[in-house]
Amino acid sequence: MATIQLKQVEKKFGDAYAVKPLDMTIADGEFIVLLGPSGCGKTTTLRMISGLETVTGGQILLNDKNVTWLHPSARDIAFVFQFYALYPHINVHDNIAFPLQAQGEKKELIDERIKQVVELLRIQHLLNKRPGGLSGGDKQRVALARALVRRPAAFLMDEPLGALDADLRETMRAEIRQLQLRLNATTVYVTHDQIEAMAMGDRIVVMNTAVVQQVGTPTEVYYNPANLFVAKFIGSPGMNLVQGQFADGVVQLPGENRYPLPDGWKNAMTRGENVVVGFRPESAHVNPEGKLHGEVYATDMHGSYNMLHVNMAGDNVVHLRADRATRYPIGANIRFDIDPPMARFFNPQNEMALRRQ
């Protein structure tokens, strides 16, 4: 398969950056997810890798070869879109055959490749049907087959599951990931769905406003977000973020809450410094002896757990995951703790994570 390298790759439309200079190396067989809100530059990045969009600066290397100015068809990369882009007037067999026919391949080779790919995707029974009569999932399988049949060096996928309903998305997520692992196919996958990104990526590239915010494994971006944007964007709900001020070994939080700093953090801050305390809902525990407190504002039952919305003071509402059996009346005062190793701290000015010292 392939390695892909982006060196200071950027895209401007007029004076506006769609993607600010970006460096990234994608390893052979790696599944990389570009994740971020609408308009952050994910699709433009993918289109630049494919050659469908020209760069305004930087270089793109495929297997160490500079492909920056090569036509898309000369890059040996296959693109799978959200809306299938299947030809409605020809059957599934001919749709899958199309890229090989366009390359002038012989009929025997085309038949052999189609046989392999439809077995892999278990869509043999669809070969004589037209796309119009297929379900969303089958249309997406056919689109994948058409990408696979070329045996490209790498796959680029732009929200390929975006048009499917929730159940099918989950099934297709697992299918694509399994296929990718079996083929050891270098893949760049765009989504704005952080659950999809966490489930599928070897690494996630989190983008916002044309800038890469963090590149890391799902575990890294979830537990060690580089900044406040990543902390809020990843997770459902995102990380709890509470403004405070550091003094004498504690962070003073709203509602006269005083959070004692865990080991290793005391030298990361100076007295009087403003700091944001971050913690995931599952890293906080209701505890009658807990050091923090607040008033139950709402509760959501999620089946296996309760999500408590707790107001620490003013509008500082945090989310805590609590056991499903206990009832937490609205308005009740509760005490809770944060697992010391799971607390995170951020500088509110530059919004970057502070590191233990």
Alpha helix segments (H runs only) across the chain? 42-50, 92-102, 107-121, 136-148, 166-183, 194-200, 218-223, 228-233
Q: Give the three-class secondary structure for 19.
A: strand
Site for ligand ATP in 231-290 (CB under 6 A): none
Among 9, 26, 31, 36, binds ligand ATP (CB under 6 A): 36
Whole-number minimum distance, CB 13 to ligand ATP, in Å?
A: 3
Among 21, 29, 39, 136, binds ligand ATP (CB under 6 A): 39
Based on the shown chain and the rule CB under 6 A, indicate whether residue 42 belongs to the binding site for ligand ATP.
yes
Among 38, 304, 333, 350, binds ligand ATP (CB under 6 A): 38
Among 1, 4, 6, 18, binds ligand ATP (CB under 6 A): 18
Tell me which residue of 244, 289, 301, 84 sits closest to 309, measured CA to CA.
301
Whole-number minimum distance, CB 207 to ligand ATP, in Å?
A: 7
Whole-number minimum distance, CB 237 to ligand ATP, in Å?
A: 21
Q: Is the dihedral of CA 126, 131, 132, 135 positive or negative?
A: positive
Cα distance between residue 47 and residue 35, in whole Å:
15
Quote the tokens at residue 117.
């790919």
Based on the shown chain and the rule CB under 6 A, indicate whether residue 213 belongs to the binding site for ligand ATP.
no
Whole-number minimum distance, CB 38 to ligand ATP, in Å?
A: 3
Cα distance between residue 30 and residue 185, in whole Å:
7
- Please give, one letter per residue, the 3-state secondary structure of 290-318: CCEEEEEEEEEECCCEEEEEEECCCCCEE
Whole-number minimum distance, CB 85 to ligand ATP, in Å?
A: 16
When the beta carbons of 13 and 69 are compared against ligand ATP, the nearer one is 13
Binding-site size, ligand ATP (CB under 6 A) = 11
Question: Judged by CB under 6 A, which stretch of 38-46, 76-84, 176-184, 329-337 contacts ligand ATP?
Answer: 38-46
Q: In what order do the strands lie in the sheet with 317-323?
A: 284-286, 333-338, 292-301, 305-311, 317-323
Based on the shown chain and the rule CB under 6 A, indicate whether residue 194 belongs to the binding site for ligand ATP.
no
- Please check whether residue 296 is in contact with residue 305, taking contact to mean a CB–CB distance below 8 angstroms: no
Based on the shown chain and the rule CB under 6 A, indicate whether residue 29 belongs to the binding site for ligand ATP.
no
According to DSSP, the β-strands at 211-216 and 203-208 are antiparallel
Based on the shown chain and the rule CB under 6 A, indicate whether residue 15 belongs to the binding site for ligand ATP.
no
Contacts of 219 (CB under 8 A, 6+ apart): none
Based on the shown chain and the rule CB under 6 A, indicate whether residue 41 belongs to the binding site for ligand ATP.
yes
Among 4, 40, 205, 228, binds ligand ATP (CB under 6 A): 40
Question: Judged by CB under 6 A, which stretch of 42-50, 256-264, 291-299, 326-334 contacts ligand ATP?
Answer: 42-50
- Please check whether residue 240 is in contact with residue 281, taking contact to mean a CB–CB distance below 8 angstroms: yes
Among 6, 44, 82, 139, binds ligand ATP (CB under 6 A): 44
Based on the shown chain and the rule CB under 6 A, indicate whether residue 82 belongs to the binding site for ligand ATP.
no
Question: Judged by CB under 6 A, which stretch of 34-42, 250-258, 266-274, 286-294 contacts ligand ATP?
Answer: 34-42
- Please check whether residue 321 is in contact with residue 305, taking contact to mean a CB–CB distance below 8 angstroms: yes
**Residue type present at position 10:** E
Footprint of ligand ATP (CB under 6 A): 13, 18, 36, 38-44, 192
